[in-house]
Amino acid sequence: MEFIKPGIRINFVGFRGYAIVFSGILILISILSLILHGGPNLGVDFKGGTLVQVRVPSSVGVAELREGLEAVGLEGAEVQRFGEPGQNEYIIRVEMTETRLEGLSDRIKKNLEDRLGAGTVEIRRVEMVGPKAGRELTDKALFALFFAILFIAVYISGRFEMKWMASALMAASIGIPSYLLKDFIGLSYLIFLVVLITLGLCIVLRFRFALGAVTALIHDVIITVGAFSLTNKEFTLPIIAALLTIIGYSLNDTIVVFDRIRENIKKLRRETLKEVINTSINETLSRTILTSMTTLVVVVVLFLLGGGVIHDFAFALLVGVIVGTYSSIFVASPILLFLEERGGPRRRRSAS
């Protein structure tokens, strides 16, 4: 199905300067927001503590809920409205607690009903995660994102540049020391350093396709996490799943364009690499727009009608699909020109 008529010639690569500025502003805002908020708003999954979802009568306020929770050992609770206003549901979070989970639901229900004296209180769910388990989940989540991006660099280098051995050695030389050093260096700092090394090796080894794909994926993840920081949404395990989904979606879109570029490099031998990239993006534009639109329809429906439990997951996908589509056109593909321009002006044929 052709959404856009064949023969269209939009100079996407010509807009790469504006795209760099726009992406730089978004990334800067995301990083500043994370710094000002002290990092992502981690949920119980990562921080440890107790989470209670409760439905109360409409006459009950936040102050009454806090007072009722103190009697069952949930002092200093953070109370936040959950779902639609008319549902009168609240999420109650306590960062650290020694309260036993066994029978906690019944104790909360009885205590709130006795103290509030207004109708029936319904406990929807109670979750408890210890601080050690939360730390382990944090480490595993970070490693999942890191190794996903690292092995994507290996796959792209092998598939599009036929450098399987060099890319495998790069992955081994980065992945193995990273795993061995994780107990001696702060994991966040270690992964940040290793990602920079990965990008540097892609430049040194001239892994043009891998550099474009990995840069676009990092771009998408940072902006999505920044959107959560700006809106102060909770960062939980389902959001990690959403980020991995975004990585897969963005990579799939990028690979379609890269495939066409690789085909056109052989067909359009008289054109420069810039012209080949523009032609390839235009030829795949119809497919890109149709895929993104159909995906967005589903994600928007989930975001609006999916309910409170899936709301943040859908929000992450919504941001990720939009940013991922943008990055496959304006970030990943134009970066292929970076190494060529870095080495000085040359024809596309010699660069390929």
pLDDT at res. 320: 93
349 pLDDT band, cuts 50/70/90, is very low
pLDDT at res. 347: 41
Mean pLDDT on 124-153: 74
Residue 345: how many CB atoms within 10 A of its CB?
7
Pair of tokens at residue 213: 């794909």
Mean pLDDT on 135-153: 77
Q: Are strands 122-129 and 78-82 parallel, antiparallel or unpaired?
A: unpaired
pLDDT at res. 348: 42
Statement: residue 352 has pLDDT above 50: no
273 pLDDT band, cuts 50/70/90, is confident
pLDDT > 70 fraction of the chain, expressed in percent and rounded? 80
Instruction: Delimit the domains of the chain by residue range.
Output: 13-43+133-351, 49-129
Contact 335, 215 (CB under 8 A): yes
Region 49-129: CATH code: 3.30.70.100
Q: What is the tens place of the pLDDT at every residue in 155-206?
A: 888 878 777 888 888 778 777 777 777 677 766 777 777 788 888 888 888 8
Entry pTM = 0.80
Give the range among 20-29, 101-110, 234-243 with minimum mean pLDDT.
101-110
CATH topology of domain 13-43+133-351: Multidrug efflux transporter AcrB transmembrane fold (1.20.1640)
User: What secondary structure does DSSP assign to 165-219, as a single string?
Assistant: HHHHHHHHHHHHHHHHHTTTS-HHHHHHHHHHHHHHHHHHTT-HHHHHHHHHHHH
Give the range among 57-66, 143-152, 163-172, 317-326 with minimum mean pLDDT.
57-66
pLDDT at res. 350: 43
Q: Could you tell me which residue, 180 or 320, shows the higher pLDDT? A: 320
pLDDT at res. 266: 85
Q: Cα separations (Å) of 134 from 46, 253, 341?
A: 4, 34, 46
Dihedral, 82, 84, 89, 93 alpha carbons, nearest 10: 10
Q: Could you tell me which residue, 217 or 137, shows the higher pLDDT? A: 217
Averaged pLDDT score across all residues of the chain: 79
Q: Could you tell me which residue, 99 or 339, shows the higher pLDDT? A: 339
Phi, psi of 338 (to 5 degrees): -60, -50
Statement: residue 312 has pLDDT above 80: yes
Residue 266 identity: K
59 pLDDT band, cuts 50/70/90, is low
pLDDT at res. 346: 44
Q: Could you tell me which residue, 307 or 245, shows the higher pLDDT? A: 245
pLDDT at res. 307: 73
Q: What is the tens place of the pLDDT at every residue in 8-55?
A: 788 888 888 899 999 999 999 999 998 998 888 877 777 777 777 778
